[in-house]
Every structure is written in C-alpha cells, then in structure tokens.
Amino acid sequence: MDWQREKERLLRTLSNLGIRDEKVLAAIGRVPRHRFVPKPHLDMAYANVPLPIGEGQTISQPSMVAYMTEKLRVGTGDRVLEIGTGSGYQAAVLAEMGCEVYSVERIPALAAGAEEILRELGYRVKIRVGDGNAGWPEAAPFRGIMVTAGAKEVPGPLMEQLETGARLIVPVGLPWLQYLTIVERTREGFRHEKDIPCSFVPLVGPYSY
C-alpha cells in the first residue's frame, strides 16, 4: 500500500467533512494509522470507518478522532487524559498535538499492545490499566479529558480532575446511540453542551448503562 497517498486521501476527506483546525489535520497526517490497525484490516487503515482491534473494541473512525481532538482545544504542553486507550491511535494524535498524554485502559492486552506500538513510534504516552471512571487523580488537574466510550452520564470524578477553563468530552446516552457531551469547567461551575450524535462501545463501571 502507498500509505502516504492513503493518508493524503484521508486528510482531504476530513477537510471535506468540516475539520478546519490545521494543527489537528497536521497531527493526523503525521500519525501512521496503519500501525494501529490489525493486519486483517490493513487495506482499510485510512478509510473513514471504525475497525475492530480485538477484545470487542474498535479503533474510532478518523473523522470522530479529528472532531473530538478539535473540540478538546488542547495543544503544546497541555496535560491531557484519555479514557479508553484501545489501539493507542487517539493517544498518538494527542501526542502529535504536543500534549503530555495520560491514558487509562481497562483491558490489559490492549494496554500492552498500545504501549508497545507507541513506544516503537517514539510517543511518550503514560498508560495504566485500571478503571477509567476514576480517571488519574494523582496526575490531575488536566487541560483536557477525552472519553472514548459511551456512558449513561458524565463521570463525576473526571469532571473534578479538570482545571478551570478546561474541557471534558464524553459520549453520553443509550447503548446504541450517544451524543458527545462537552463539559467545560468555569469559575462559576460546570457548563454542559450536547453536541453531535455518535456510537461508541460502552464505558464499563458505575457510569455504564
């Protein structure tokens, strides 16, 4: 496969779908997505579709990765928490944005696989196996928190780990349909915004369905 050509095609698709942040597009353009996709699906590595990665989990479609990254509004030097490491692809994109990335994954095999690939590619992402609902309190506060699994409500512990002015993005709703919910911590409290519809694998734990 001509990975560079496939990558350029993906970037055109993302631009046509409304992704405007040049830093986000540049970050996605630098991440070799094919390294995070299992061999049986390599021919679809840069297609704008979610793909299975084993353990009943998926790698999100690139347009959703781009959209959530754009909405998080983070950049160089920002400390960011990701809940749901999965393949490690989203963490790589955040690292390419210049963020200091912490990522929590509940499935040990996925965490180990993501850690190996990220290390091979030179990304310094901190990964732990654990309950994403609890976040990573000793590393808080975070400039951004991204949850890549659907929840029935916004996890309270994650809200408390935001710094003032920071954003938490989490899919909230039903098992078959959620809406991205953007929570911003202000000096007056938390502001919630219901955004686009989406469909993610479920967040396991107290905030599950």
Instruction: Just list the catalytic residues.
Output: 60
The DSSP line for the chain is --HHHHHHHHHHHHHHTT---HHHHHHHHHS-GGGGS-GGGGGGTTSSS-EEEETTEEEPPHHHHHHHHHHHT--TT-EEEEE--TTSHHHHHHHHTT-EEEEEES-HHHHHHHHHHHHHTT---EEEES-GGG--GGG--EEEEEE-SBBSS--HHHHHTEEEEEEEEEEEEETTEEEEEEEEEETTEEEEEEEEEE--PBPPSTT--
139 burial level (CB within 10 Å; 0-12, 13-18, 19+): middle
How far is Cα 190 from Cα 192, in angstroms, rounded to an integer? Answer: 7
